[in-house]
Amino acid sequence: MMRTAAWLALGQQILASTATPIVNLTGYGSFQGLSITSSLTNDTLPAGVDAWLGIDYAAQPVGERRFRPVESRPSSFEGIRQATTYGKACVQDPTQLSYEQDEACLSFNVYRTAGVPLAQKLPTLVWIHGGGFVAGSSRSIDGAAFAANSKEPIAVVSFQYRLNSLGFLPSALFEQEGLLNLGLLDQRFFLEFLQDHLASFGGDPDQITLGGRSAGAHSTGIHYFHNYGNDTGKKPLFARVIHQSGSVTARAFPNSSYPQYQSDFKRFMGALNCSVNATNAAALKCLREAPIDAIQAISAKIYADGAPTIAWPFQPTLGGPLLERPGSVSGIEGTFFHLPAITSHVTNEGKYYTPGTLQSNDDFLNFMLNTSPDLNVTDIALLNELYPDPVSHPDSPYSSSPNSTQYNRLSEAWSDYAYICPSRETAYRVSKANVPIWRLHFNTPDVPLEYTSWRGVPHTSDTRYTWASKRVPYETTGQIYHAYLASFVTTGDPNTARLAGAPEWPLYDGSKGADAEQLLVNPGNFTVVERDSYRRGQCNFWNDEARAVRLNNVGGRKVKQYEVQEISRLLTQNLPFTIVRLKINMVGVKQVILAAALSALALAGPLEKRQDDTGCKFFIDLINDCKQMYGGSWNICENPKHTFDIPDCNGVTGKKKVCEYYQVEDCKKVYGGCYNEGDPVPEWKKPTCS
């Protein structure tokens, strides 16, 4: 998620103080900008760009305003201020970014095609930088290069928001005090500020494209999907969106009760000598008085410790402002802002940061459970089927993995979970609402192909191609890609001003399933249209509506370690695997999938042969799950028979009658024994292991 921008070290941008218009922001003050003639990597730009840099957009969150939502704009002033240097980056791990850092970091930059009168209001790209919500700065996008390479006049805006613990500190304390998601609130505050002042820079507040990559794309999705149907008629703060490798329909954003967040917060408070048992007022006073160096150090340490298992701390918190509900809910209900969108992903998203040390099937399963602890026994079994273990399945597509036996398998599963399938889900939901959306698969590495055999095209490979940088191995790809994006910003359609000879990018139509069309951006001049047909089964798993609640880590019985071991043992024997679907009635009929090893893996066999605690506990918990989900009495009878005693159905016993709550016939075929159903529900009898 967090990837150091090594390309920034290649050079330093040359800023030239020539005659740039002075802008006056009503109620704030006047700012003198400058002309920019080179990119952030010191390459000469094809056209001049006017710029205004490092302007504050809020009263800075320092002192008593630390750990509070921004509430006021900067004080007004007389005269003219110079807006010719970038603001300091927000506080983060100093080893990840070489720029000077400060808590007083809420600033923005504007870049605009030179020579165009300010009275001509230009379509504007507003970019939210990435960095995993713990790192990054407004210079994560080269706004000047993006504007200079556009065929049509354009404006680009970048800005900064609070990061890591200062912007995202999930905890019961912050939930109780209304202090969750401060970084997201910074973003929202800036978008409101921009509505009032963009016109002063010659931008059009009614033609804003909100975009971002990685955490910036997740943020974009949060704002895009933050419309729950109760603010009809409310004007959105943007006209269209770009999601690059991220979507709020994606990976888990847990709530503040998430166990990792609780342990991280306790560790954070301890390092600052702040008591977790103090009153809320005393705890916040301690946090606001803590040395910023100490906050920076413990935040960096907690992140570094969680990074190997992608157990990222300091993330947006479900239930907090702007994320009151999972984005997947707004997608399913269709209550998001119905505005044109682009969604994209790269080929091997997960390969940059998934570990190359996992060797066994247990390692793989435990990693996925650490990522989404609410996955149940069914989910874990399905993961084994969808991503075959290369050790027990020699014909697995992951059998020739570099680094470790599980590396390719884990990287692909993580890519699907966090980026690729959420991109498809966003495209599907938006197109289903009859809103224009274009989907793109970026398949071009940011290093020459001969160096990418194991690494593929990992997360953020599209970064420098976005603004047609010259510091890429395939410049033509950058010209093609940038032209599509700039056309979308300036016209609302990526095709209108696309590069000559580039294919027309078709609208995504999710109703076509695998025949839906998207753009495939290959190295060089080989961009083509392709069918969205790959890994459909895997994405059906990750995008399943019933599973969404478990992926968002909102509570539920956790799969235990011995269950992981037993599932792994059963499902790595290259034996048949079957699914039994049980229909239940829970506020409307839903389908609950109970996965089990069947046929040669029928439950009677393993339980008869394994009388140790692990085997027995596994099946006890499995039937306990059944009891919790379906009601009734589920018992393991004397070995070797296993009879699930379900209550009578309206007094009729011993018959294979199927009521709406159960599919008895399926259970009988799978497990054997006697199955009946009905009311009333008898007392639950805990099975024994003897």
Q: What's the token pair of residue 212?
A: 């971002």
Dihedral, 501, 505, 506, 510 alpha carbons, nearest 10: 150
For residue 427, what pLDDT is reported? 97
For residue 649, what pLDDT is reported? 36
pTM of model > 0.85: no
Instruction: List, edge to edge, every strand of the sheet that includes 80-82.
Output: 22-25, 29-32, 80-82
SS percent in the chain: helix, strand, coil, step 5: 35, 15, 50
Q: What's the token pair of residue 465?
A: 């191609």
d(CA 200, CA 117): 11
For residue 602, what pLDDT is reported? 32
Q: What's the token pair of residue 130?
A: 């990435």
For residue 374, what pLDDT is reported? 81
* Residues whose CB falls within 8 Å of the CB of residue 49, separated by 6 or more in sequence, listed in order: 35, 36, 37, 111, 112, 113, 114, 144, 147, 148
Alpha-carbon distances of 75 from 27, 29, 57, 60, rounded to whole Å? 8, 9, 10, 11
For residue 564, what pLDDT is reported? 58
d(CA 498, CA 487): 6
3-class state of residue 134 by DSSP = coil
270: number of Cβ within 10 Å: 12
Parts of the chain with a pLDDT under 70: 1-19, 229-234, 250-252, 552-690
Of 366, 370, 413, the C-alpha closest to 388 is 413
Cβ–Cβ < 8 Å for 66, 166: yes
Q: E strands along 161-239, which residues?
A: 203-213
**CA dihedral sign, ordered 144, 146, 149, 153:** negative
Q: What's the token pair of residue 68?
A: 């509070």
Angle of CA points 83, 84, 90, to nearest 5°: 80
For residue 661, what pLDDT is reported? 29
Q: What's the token pair of residue 402?
A: 């570099």
* Residues whose CB falls within 8 Å of the CB of residue 364, separated by 6 or more in sequence, listed in order: 358, 387, 389, 406, 409, 410, 413
Cis peptide before 340, with omega less than 30 degrees from 0? no
d(CA 270, CA 268): 5
Alpha-carbon distances of 581 from 438, 491, 623, 664, 665, rounded to whole Å? 35, 48, 15, 11, 11
Boundaries of every domain in the chain: 6-333, 341-356+406-538, 576-690
pLDDT digits (tens, 9 = 90+) for 306-340: 999 888 999 999 999 999 988 888 898 998 999 99
Question: 6-333: which CATH architecture?
Answer: 3-Layer(aba) Sandwich (3.40)
d(CA 366, CA 95): 30
